[in-house]
Structure 1
């Protein structure tokens, strides 16, 4: 590892203020990485939409209209920006102050940062946090991957393979957790958990249906991104044993999560990673997930949870019945080693040094 320290400028997602929950797992990714790199002596500054809060982390607040999320758009969608786009404003600020830094870390899954890459003088490490969503964005990413080798980082190999340029992607992992923040629990209640943005691609209804069949209470935690979708679930499953706890800060989230017997992950799409999975493991909570996307690379089937046939509610129910087979200490151990904040910080730091040399 080089002796010199880096000055790193992190560009946040433009779909919501940090701390709002609108940015999904990217918010946890930025917070954990910034704190880990700062603890290693690196200089960290973050540019994010106005209203962003991440504790004691330094944030340059940028006004403007939020961007549409990629997962709500069709593959053939055109690139659309609002009249006063926070995304463009953030990148204009970054270009103005770029020479105060050694490297920019981009977490925005949008066309503009990739288009702007040739107009910057310092290296940009692009962290691509989703699989293929919109053809125009895929094309922009591929051009950067070709012209600036090694600058496209992805969470998992499964995610990379959704792109035609998979071999040009660097698999750097999706995130890491600080185990000290999450309390281990080896005596759970007879409850289940589901964490995430409440929107159709997350298929919360499958978890609700499984909870109804088993009679086990399901704690639901996360931002309601699509109120109509949430209302439909409540209408369709009026007798399901569910409890909505809201979007919780990490301390409150882990207190509610740690006592659960298991956590369900039910995405309809290919998740790039799955931050909620490693948060559950850190609490000692086994994860039951569809065998698709990032969770299939996080969970060790039969040891830290179960992988079931995608979209199979019956498969979820069968796995729930087997939760007692899991040694919860194995879940915690995975979070303390493979998926720790320190391990991921080392992987990202090594990537940054390669690009900044």
Structure 2
């Protein structure tokens, strides 16, 4: 992180606070990135849901609440309350960044999934980097297509995600998410398996339960219950008899649970844009058996895990004993090589400095090969 300290604004969700236990992988990623940037001497300001972690040593941009008249609320065009609250929060944010906060930052790093930071990027006199954390979504794709990406630079968390967005952003940087290796220490392993993440249908915890039972291994689950109906219908009835839900753990407890497991199961039924849980498991020395979906094959190699065809439970069951027998040191070595937060942060700093140089000279920071 050589060079003068930068003034960096990080934009996250206006709904979810950036604090433990995390609502999801995106909130976790922003929390770790904010910590690393602050530790590197940079001045970080965070836009996120109320109640974000005060220990991050960041300044905060307040989320403006929406005060809507009774007449507007009953109008036939009124969308959901959450949609309007997010629209209002990001509209106010972008107007502030274009007005009273113009010049307050050297670079703005957008991690939100909202369309307005992209659609209004060209109104802000500060370079904006947008990290694409998800597959294309209708509102965000529309914002990029209409604005043609003007005023924003893009990066993706995996080559898979970059390819999914290429039709609207062209060729962009791929900067894999990193983890703080010191905070995810190698554990001694154990007899049981672990599945961790948001408990929602697309993450496939119910499939991990089936696979673990068929393979004859106990399983622990950890993560937020983000879909109560799914948990009640597909998870809760199967608890007991070797399947235990540990709850929504803060990071140190989660790292201990992962490190005390023989292997991690990663069973998405959608294409994971990156697969942060794979990186976290490997850092703890815990090999991974996973469906080969999305960006996961970019992280997992044969010496630290097993990839099986998507949705093929039989193949996953057969892969579990092989995965349990893999080297924990090889898993950690893969994390050090590919998943380090230091590599990620240095890559982002390089992009920040490229953007600020281009801004000072009035040149475009977009790659010539970009179609945006």
Q: Shorter-normalised TM-score: what interval?
A: 0.7 to 0.9
Gaps of 5+ in 1: 66-77
Q: Distance in 1 between matches of 2:148 and 2:305?
A: 35
* C-alpha deviation, 1:135, in angstroms: 2.5
SS in 1 for 2:101: helix
* C-alpha deviation, 1:164, in angstroms: 4.5
Report the more deviating stretch, 54-63 or 274-283: 54-63
Gaps of 5+ in 2: 67-78, 358-372
**Within-5 A mapping of 1:80-119:** 81-83=83-85, 85-95=88-98, 96-119=100-123
Aligned to 2:211: 210
Aligned to 2:150: 147
> How many residues align structurally?
341
Aligned to 1:137: 140
Q: Distance in 2 between matches of 1:2 and 1:235?
A: 50
In angstroms, what is the RMSD of aligned CA positions? 2.4
Q: Is the 8 A contact 1:155 1:174 kept in 2?
A: yes
Q: Distance in 2 between matches of 1:240 and 1:119?
A: 58
| Equivalent in 107, 127, 132 of residue 128 of structure 1 | 132
Aligned to 1:162: 164
| 1:198-254 alpha-carbon deviations (Å, 9 max, x no partner) | 111111111111122123221111111100000111365366522111221111110
Q: Is the 8 A contact 2:38 2:58 kept in 1?
A: no
Aligned to 1:329: 329
Aligned to 2:365: none
| Equivalent in 163, 169, 184 of residue 182 of structure 1 | 184
SS in 1 for 2:125: coil
Q: Distance in 1 between matches of 2:253 and 2:239?
A: 27
Distance 1:46 1:194, change over 3 A: same
Q: Is the 8 A contact 1:207 1:264 kept in 2?
A: yes
Q: Is the 8 A contact 2:283 2:336 kept in 1?
A: yes
Q: Distance in 1 between matches of 2:148 and 2:267?
A: 31
Distance 1:99 1:162, change over 3 A: same
With normalisation by structure 1, the TM-score equals 0.88
Q: Is the 8 A contact 1:15 1:22 kept in 2?
A: no
Aligned to 1:243: 244
Q: Distance in 2 between matches of 1:21 and 1:170?
A: 32
With normalisation by structure 2, the TM-score equals 0.84
Q: Is the 8 A contact 1:145 1:152 kept in 2?
A: no
Larger Rg computed on CA atoms: 2
1:343 aligns with 2:343: yes
* C-alpha deviation, 1:193, in angstroms: 0.9
Q: Is the 8 A contact 1:221 1:244 kept in 2?
A: yes
Distance 1:104 1:250, change over 3 A: same
Q: Distance in 1 between matches of 2:325 and 2:85?
A: 55
Aligned to 1:72: none
* C-alpha deviation, 1:167, in angstroms: 6.2
Q: Distance in 2 between matches of 1:234 and 1:212?
A: 13
